[in-house]
């Protein structure tokens, strides 16, 4: 939420299926033989394995030794990144080759997934798509350059030397930030993890990794998106899941400019909200509407606090006082970071109050069961309706009417 709560960003993968529109090949026809495998692939894999092993083993000479001879600018940049990573506790670092394109005589571009884990915190690797340019010299392949597949995207170590501050349940990796500031974020993150573990069953062993770039522009680069869209957003969570399991590690990315102007209570709300997204990742699917995922994260963040609904939802309170409650729960479009601040705030507040109503009227266990039931539905259509019927014994129209009455009672 702009100004005082964090947003979230989920990475989604599209799978393209190819079908033969004309059906099966006719009897007696000959399928084209498969293209021969590129014999360079095994060599390139070994090259990437040497590069990864050198970085993981902190062998500077070996890391630089795979670079194109004579490419002094490349060597300087790579040596700088190697130094920026010096203090990062890496449990693993791998380049997984996913494709190889010949771009000229003795030239190629490898499509790779960079996969790395932070020791003691990541159970799965963080994954980013990279392109590695290759050149062949004297019968050997060398690295001639490396860049993100999505233009403008960066890793935290490309923004400066990385300072690492460990908490008991969270670790903060910061660039261009003082250790004292990062320690403060780590302490708040530790409390956030504990708060989420107390509210969400299954989060007992939860740990998280937070990234703090130097500036808002740095946040945009970490997300591979225009920074202006995140102005006023204190933190964002990234990660991916599919089929009921995580497919990459989550990262909470902190906007140092927006986070820094918050008071202690606001900072705790932000990081508890984002940590909830980390904890609920595998239960939050395309079937989950934004009012539920964001409302639930705010419910956890404000759970147990002494502030009233009117204090937490001032924008929606003004609207309810003037015009009465909205006719429907907020649609996904109202949660876009590019929305005006009032609409965005009202969307978050409306989702939070819906979750708060369920917890108060049906119990916290029912709210958790409802959340999981919605996410488990195979598609968006019917997900909320089925979960309302199965877990709360009501339907969409009756639930919306109850929510509108609840808004009048709490905010009117």
- pLDDT tens digits for range 60-78: 999 999 999 999 999 999 9
Q: What is the arrangement of strands in the sheet containing 126-137, beginning at the earlier edge strand?
A: 90-104, 107-118, 126-137, 140-148
SS3 at position 7: coil
- The yes-or-no verdict on residue 13 having pLDDT over 70 is no
Distance CA 373, CA 386 (A): 8
Quickly state the pLDDT bin for 22 (edges 50, 70, 90): very low
Q: Which two tokens stand for residue 95?
A: 């380049």
**Cβ atoms < 10 Å from Cβ of 141:** 20
pLDDT (tens digit, 9 = 90+) per residue, 213-253? 999 999 999 999 999 989 889 999 998 877 777 789 999 99
Closest residue by Cα to residue 77 from 158, 150, 10: 158
Average pLDDT over residues 195-202: 94
Comma-separated ranges of CATH 3.10.450.50 domains in the chain? 40-153
Per-residue confidence (pLDDT) for residue 29, from 0 to 100: 34
Quickly state the pLDDT bin for 12 (edges 50, 70, 90): very low
Per-residue confidence (pLDDT) for residue 254, from 0 to 100: 98
- Give the mean pLDDT of the chain: 90
Closest residue by Cα to residue 246 from 200, 302, 208, 214: 208
Class of domain 40-153: alpha beta
pLDDT (tens digit, 9 = 90+) per residue, 252-307? 999 999 999 999 999 999 999 999 999 999 999 999 999 999 999 999 999 999 99
Closest residue by Cα to residue 312 from 295, 327, 332, 288: 295
Q: How far is CA 248 from CA 93, 127, 221, 275, 278, in A?
A: 14, 6, 19, 16, 11
Query: Cα dihedral sign for 169, 120, 235, 358?
Result: negative
Q: Please, where are the H alpha helices in 158-243?
A: 179-199, 216-223
Per-residue confidence (pLDDT) for residue 339, from 0 to 100: 66
């Amino acid at each position: 939420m702009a100004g005082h709560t964090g947003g979230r960003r989920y990475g989604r993968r599209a799978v393209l299926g190819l079908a033969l529109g004309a059906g099966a090949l006719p009897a007696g026809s000959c399928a084209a033989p498969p293209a021969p495998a590129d014999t360079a692939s095994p060599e390139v894999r070994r090259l990437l394995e040497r590069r990864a092993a050198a970085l993981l083993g902190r062998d500077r000479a070996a890391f630089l030794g795979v670079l194109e001879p004579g490419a002094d600018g490349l060597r300087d940049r790579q040596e700088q990144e190697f130094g920026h990573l010096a203090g990062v506790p890496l449990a693993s670092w791998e380049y997984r080759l996913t494709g190889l394109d010949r771009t000229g005589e003795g030239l190629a571009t490898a499509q790779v997934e960079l996969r790395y884990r932070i020791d003691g915190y990541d159970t799965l690797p963080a994954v980013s798509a990279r392109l590695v340019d290759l050149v062949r010299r004297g019968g050997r392949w060398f690295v001639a350059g490396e860049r993100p597949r999505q233009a403008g995207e960066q890793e935290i170590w490309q923004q400066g030397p990385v300072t690492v501050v460990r908490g008991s349940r969270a670790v903060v990796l910061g660039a261009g930030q003082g250790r004292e500031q990062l320690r403060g974020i780590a302490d708040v993150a530790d409390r956030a993890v504990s708060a989420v573990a107390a509210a969400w069953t299954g989060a007992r062993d939860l740990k998280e990794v937070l990234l703090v770039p130097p500036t808002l522009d740095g946040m945009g680069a970490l997300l591979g998106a225009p920074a202006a869209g995140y102005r006023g957003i204190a933190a964002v969570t990234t990660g991916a899941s599919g089929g009921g399991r995580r497919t990459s590690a989550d990262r909470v990315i902190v906007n140092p400019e927006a986070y820094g102007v918050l008071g202690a209570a606001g900072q705790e709300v932000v990081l508890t909200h984002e940590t909830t997204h980390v904890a609920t990742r595998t239960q939050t699917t395309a079937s989950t509407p934004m009012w539920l995922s964001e409302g639930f994260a705010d419910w956890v963040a404000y759970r147990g606090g002494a502030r009233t609904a009117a204090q937490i939802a001032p924008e929606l309170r003004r609207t309810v006082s003037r015009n009465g409650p909205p006719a429907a729960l907020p649609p996904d479009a109202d949660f876009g970071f590019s929305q005006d601040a009032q609409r965005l705030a009202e969307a978050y507040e409306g989702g939070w109050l819906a979750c708060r109503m369920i917890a108060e009227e049906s119990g916290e266990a029912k709210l958790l069961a409802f959340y999981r039931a919605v996410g488990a539905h195979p598609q968006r259509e019917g997900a909320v309706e089925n979960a309302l019927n199965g877990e709360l014994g009501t339907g969409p129209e009756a639930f919306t009417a109850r929510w509108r009455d609840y808004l009048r009672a709490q905010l009117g």
